[in-house]
Amino acid sequence: MSWVTTAPGLEDLDAQSRASLEALPVATVPKGQTLFCPGEAARGFVVVLQGRVEVFLTGSTGRDILLYAVEPGESCVQSTLGLLGGTEYSGEALTATDCQLVLIPRDTFLTLMNASQPFRHFVFEAFAERMQGMMTLLERVAFQKVESRLAAALLKGAKGGQLHMTHAELAVQIGSAREVVSRRLDQMAKRGLVQLDRGCITLLNPDRLAQIGASDH
């Protein structure tokens, strides 16, 4: 089966556009691989077929923040901006899991953007959704207190009441520093909201965490 028929959002392509994409190879990329770095030019548009790619922004202090993740049917806003506007990458993309990807080269991408309305719709719809998500992230980091962001992240990431994630990884996810996250978790543990073990956080009071996570200030 062609990868194009399994890629969300590309079902309505015309025959010529579909043929140009079907000629592109599917790459299997292991977890932990860097797809692009700050300062690099966009080489093409990545379509994620399986797995998850995470895009990070690193500040002058060395602190990272998770800008967004790209999963099947979603797009990388930095790649779209680079291809359409000629801007260099400001973030770093890493495969968070083993992935199957297709790289649409720059020339092919631009040709399809000019010639194929369904492809343009796919790109711009995914771009709009991604921008909305980034605006939500900006609002959360700017206006929501650390404890609220942390509680929401704990609830979102927990499986069976437990979250297997380091304090540093949580800090990247919520846009804070590891030391701040560690202090907040210690405070939550003293209040009986969580139990902290090495590499594992157990949620003891999800209802109260949900109240904290819903707080805007």
Count of the separate structural domains present in the chain: 2
Residue 48 counted as domain residue: yes
154 and 101, same structural domain?
no
Nearest-CA neighbor of 192 among 183, 203, 180, 207? 203
108 and 45, same structural domain?
yes
Radius of gyration of the chain from Cα atoms? 20
Residue 1 banded pLDDT, cuts 50, 70, 90: low
Residue 62 counted as domain residue: yes
pTM for the full predicted model:
0.66
For residue 101, pLDDT beyond 90: yes
For residue 130, pLDDT beyond 70: yes
Of 21-25, 75-79, 189-193, the poorest mean pLDDT is in 75-79
Residue 171 counted as domain residue: yes
**pLDDT for the residue numbered 10:** 83
For residue 95, pLDDT beyond 90: yes
108 and 174, same structural domain?
no
Average pLDDT over residues 9-26: 88
For residue 63, pLDDT beyond 80: no
CATH assignment at residue 73: 2.60.120.10
**pLDDT for the residue numbered 209:** 92
For residue 128, pLDDT beyond 90: no
Residue 35 banded pLDDT, cuts 50, 70, 90: very high
Region of residue 92 (left: phi > 0; alpha: psi -120 to 50; beta: else): beta
For residue 99, pLDDT beyond 80: yes
99 and 17, same structural domain?
yes
Of 25-34, 86-95, 144-153, 180-189, the poorest mean pLDDT is in 144-153
**pLDDT for the residue numbered 141:** 67
Residue 138 counted as domain residue: no
Residue 137 counted as domain residue: no
185 and 108, same structural domain?
no
Residue 46 counted as domain residue: yes
Question: 40-60: per-residue pLDDT in tens?
Answer: 999 999 999 999 998 888 776
Residue 169 banded pLDDT, cuts 50, 70, 90: confident
156 and 111, same structural domain?
no
Residue 144 banded pLDDT, cuts 50, 70, 90: low
- 122 close to 47: Cβ distance less than 8 angstroms: no
65 and 26, same structural domain?
yes
d(CA 45, CA 156): 29
Residue 128 counted as domain residue: no
C-alpha 214, offset from chain centre: 22
185 and 107, same structural domain?
no
Q: Which of 100, 115, 130 is the last residue of a domain?
A: 115
Give the angle 186-164-148 at the CA atoms, nearest 5°: 50
Report the percentage of the chain scoring pLDDT > 70: 94
61 and 20, same structural domain?
yes
Residue 94 counted as domain residue: yes
Residue 216 banded pLDDT, cuts 50, 70, 90: low
Q: What's the half-sphere exposure (Cβ side, CA atoms, 13 Å) at 98? A: 1
Q: Which of 115, 134, 163 is the last residue of a domain?
A: 115
204 is in which domain, residue-wise? 144-214
